[in-house]
Structure 1
């Protein structure tokens, strides 16, 4: 015989004896009312419980992996540091572009440079990384799949083989490559500055970093067709063509479609439109120079004896570019031009980016010096063609990107191998020069064609990519963002 227990005397289920499914809801109910000190105590235990669960999960996974060795830790730590330096280059690009443009467009430029990196990382994470480093779909031309759902994203799992082989973990590898994708998109910003709609620009940046840049990059950095066109491989160590010229060609197409800024060309004559803050532009150039030590030495993809060597050739290239651009621009204009010193440094850096691991120290300095002269000539040439490049972005990244790629075929060497000559001038024959020229040309054609299509589609959908004449005259800060960079100072000129 059993006796029914009255409802009021039935034992109430508490959090202590609740199941895993019942506990969270009971805890939320108790927190909502904050009925007792005990509920508060349980609430305070949530972070501790989650931390314990995370440690348990991490320990369970770590138990399947061997002990971390010094080479594995050094390689991954170095690449993480290099990645941070490359990401910090976005600040340099923003400051150079904003400083060399007018005050009334400063907010727009800063917003573009800041926001585009967030877009680039997202697009590259979603599909770009998969297209660039996935499995071959069309061997040599198209790749896809990095272990994520339906081929998107990527698998971040760390394996025992990675640790034992001192390889890069997938997450560090992704971050480094995503930073490069962001750089390509940022270069476009300088070429289309002061006259492009904000929304249309960011849409183009998405297309560039999700599809156009990754497919181009796979041709060299994922064993694509450029590595099998002859007995020698195409060389682009850190991206003079893959990153810099692709970004420059993409921006050039946009600049041509946009047309020049109001007042840039009057009666067939080029009119100077001075930047509003050369101090900021100079600081930006120095930030970029420092960031390049992540860009080039980081592309060694390991911490070994060649990292400092690549850092030195990078430095010498920048020095040669600065000196040559300053001397040549002084001879031309009779006075040293700070904008040419800035662009000379950047030109020298781009000029050795492809060959920083394949040029000796003298060759790196000379390559940078030639790049410094080329950037001055290129800026004047674009003006003569009626193309408005407000900050000289194409001259730095496009002209010198092509030069930096081709110079390996002139005096490059197998520095990290047996030291044998690769370039024509040093006795390596003409084949390497032909392969380098072919690669530079292929990247130019691919980017021009695909970006022309992308710009045209975006423009047709949204009624053009250029702001109105009234908005351009007033300034994009007000028209596009409704704010000013320096609200406490009166704008003294357009």
Structure 2
């Protein structure tokens, strides 16, 4: 066997494992950013929806992305059987697993907009529909030989394909589900519904940060010439710049060095560099991450004031930062590194690539949002609502949807409160 084929396969298999491990980061991030009465539900639904997306990706998703077809979707290679792909340079099964992991992450991002109020059945049905009708279509357009790829759309590891697509699904969900109980006062002013564990949130961000090396550097699909190390370096620099920028922004504006904002800034830097990590120099990676950190701070406040209740800020972290990251290659892509499309504006490429990037954002963003909204609206009618009842939301989805708490001590507190006649137990 060709040693390079073997090394490429090992490297991408490791990268696929890192990307799948990011689901653990999302569990910690989402659970820590929400209330403890929903922690078990968040952990459980993340695992079983990844199971659903894995099966759907095997059956139809991979074929819709990479199968032979037209400019809009593939029409072959359904029910992938493990065959190798000619000219790929690594195991076809490993490549399949790597792409499957990306599909699962995009779905998990979309579910951020469901947090703390959606029925379990809504997660199950939307997982299937998103994995067939939304993610594979966008991925085919850019990575599978579709029309945006033909135009030279630059998106090395998925600022648009994975993050913006997932964020638009989250956006549609937040609109249709409406804000959580107690989030807004009668005058429209928002209340801070704090997450129950900042340590979980910080650890989740760290797991995601490390997983991102698989996400971005793994997208090289090769160990040849060690270029994956350069991609990893750009990824790390952008994350660091995003964390610093967001902390400085919130500290200067509010007077508080808010930890959740800083953590979201690190994620925003990671999301933004995902499109451009292989196309820009290191100094540009710092700029891209820094700008993303500032953008995410203002974006979080912008949407909250407009009654968009996004508990884990998926729309800002993955949507707004994804837009900036996608546009950034139109400014910073260098002639030496722009293996796809053209150099950016600052390197003599004019506005051509910037225009292609903007066109891709508009097309993918509108498609993802409209299809997600229509699907969720139809589900709302069929399921007699996407949202749990007020009583179920108050007691928490752990108990109302699963019959047990993620933190068993809560159940004991609830029973003790009942015995003592406390009508307002602490678990609320």
Partner Cα separation in structure 2 for residue 421 and residue 158 of structure 1: 31
Change (3 A) 1:289 1:418: closer
Matched, 1:252 2:171: yes
Q: Which of 311, 316, 321 is matched with 1:390 structurally?
A: 311
Q: Please, which of 147, 153, 156 is the counterpart of residue 79 of structure 2?
A: 153
Structure 1 position 486, deviation (Å): 1.3
2:397 corresponds to which residue?
A: 476
Runs of 4+ aligned structure 1 residues displaced above 4 Å come to 417-421
Matching residue of 1:184? 106
Contact 1:357 1:415 in 2 (8 A): no
Q: Distance in 1 between matches of 2:335 and 2:121?
A: 45
Deviations 1:355-411 (A, max 9, x none): 000110000011001000111111000011110001111100000011100011112
Of 188-197 and 257-266, more deviation after overlay is shown by 188-197
Distance 1:404 1:331 in 2: 24
Contact 1:69 1:166 in 2 (8 A): no
Deviations 1:38-78 (A, max 9, x none): xxxxxxxxxxxxxxxxxxxxxxxxxxxxxx11100011010
Match of 2:180 in 1: 261
Q: Tell me the equivalent position of 1:236.
A: 155
Q: Measure, in 2, the Cα distance between the counterparts of 1:166 and 1:485.
A: 44
Map 1:124-163 onto structure 2 (within 5 A): 124-136=57-69, 139-146=70-77, 152-158=78-84, 162=86
Query: Is the counterpart of residue 293 in structure 1 residue 213 in structure 2?
Result: yes
So what's the TM-score if we normalise by structure 1?
Answer: 0.81
Secondary structure of the 2:118 match is coil
Picking from 245, 253, 261, the partner of 1:340 is: 261
SS at match of 1:223: coil
2:223 equivalent to 1:303: yes
SS of the aligned residue for 1:142 comes to coil
2:198 equivalent in structure 1 = 278
SS of residue matched to 2:345: coil
Question: What is the rounded CA distance, in whole Å, between the counterparts of 2:84 and 2:195 in structure 1?
Answer: 48
Larger radius of gyration: 1
Corresponding position of 1:100? 33
Q: How far did residue 282 of structure 1 move?
A: 0.7
- How many residue pairs align between the two structures? 413
CA shift for structure 1 position 493: 5.4
Structure 2 counterpart of 1:401: 322
Contact 1:360 / 1:415 at 8 angstroms: preserved in 2? no
Counterpart contact for 2:183–2:191, Cα < 8 Å: yes
Tell me how far apart the structure 1 counterparts of residues 216 and 21 of structure 2 sit (CA, whole Å).
Answer: 14
Deviations 1:323-379 (A, max 9, x none): 000000111110111101110110000010000001100000110010001111110
Larger relative contact order, structure 1 or 2 (CA cutoff 8 Å, min sep 6):
2
Partner of 2:18: 85
Is contact 2:332–2:345 with CA below 8 Å preserved after alignment? yes
Deviation at 1:426, TM superposition (A): 3.0
**Which secondary structure state, in structure 1, belongs to the residue aligned with residue 347 of structure 2?**
coil
Distance in 2, Cα, partners of 1:417 & 1:475: 49
Where does residue 412 of structure 1 map in the other structure?
333
The answer for unaligned runs of 5 or more in structure 1 is 1-67, 147-151
In 1: Cα distance, 2:116 partner to 2:103 partner = 23
Shift of 1:168: 2.2
Question: Secondary structure of 2:74's match?
Answer: strand
CA contact (8 A) 1:197 1:467 kept: yes
| Partner residue in 2 for 1:358 | 279
Distance, in Å, in 2 between the alignment partners of 1:197 and 1:458 is 11
Which of 120, 141, 156 in structure 2 is aligned with 1:219?
A: 141
SS of structure 2 residue aligned to 1:144: coil
- 3-state SS, counterpart of residue 409 of structure 2: coil
Instruction: Find the residue that maps to 2:80 and give its secondary structure.
Output: coil
Residue 426 of structure 2 corresponds to 492
Cα root mean square deviation, aligned: 1.6
Does residue 70 (structure 1) correspond to residue 37 (structure 2)? The answer is no
Tell me the CA shift for residue 115 of structure 1. Answer: 1.2
Classify 1:487/1:419 alpha carbon distance in 2 versus 1 (closer, same or farther; 3 Å): closer
In the alignment, is residue 194 of structure 1 matched against residue 125 of structure 2?
no
CA shift, 1:223, in A, is 1.6
More off after superposition, 203-212 vs 120-129: 203-212
Give 1:471 deviation, angstroms.
0.6
Q: Whole-Å Cα distance in 2 between the matches of residues 239 and 483 of structure 1?
A: 37
The separation in 2 between residues aligned to 1:395 and 1:336, in whole angstroms, is 19
In 1, Cα distance between the equivalents of 2:335 and 2:112?
35
Residue number in structure 1 paired with 2:416: none
Q: Which ranges of structure 2 fall in alignment gaps of 5 or more residues?
A: 414-424
More helix by share: 2
In the alignment, structure 1 residue 314 sits paired with structure 2 residue 314? no
Match of 1:430 in 2: 351
Q: Structure 2 length normalisation: TM-score? A: 0.94
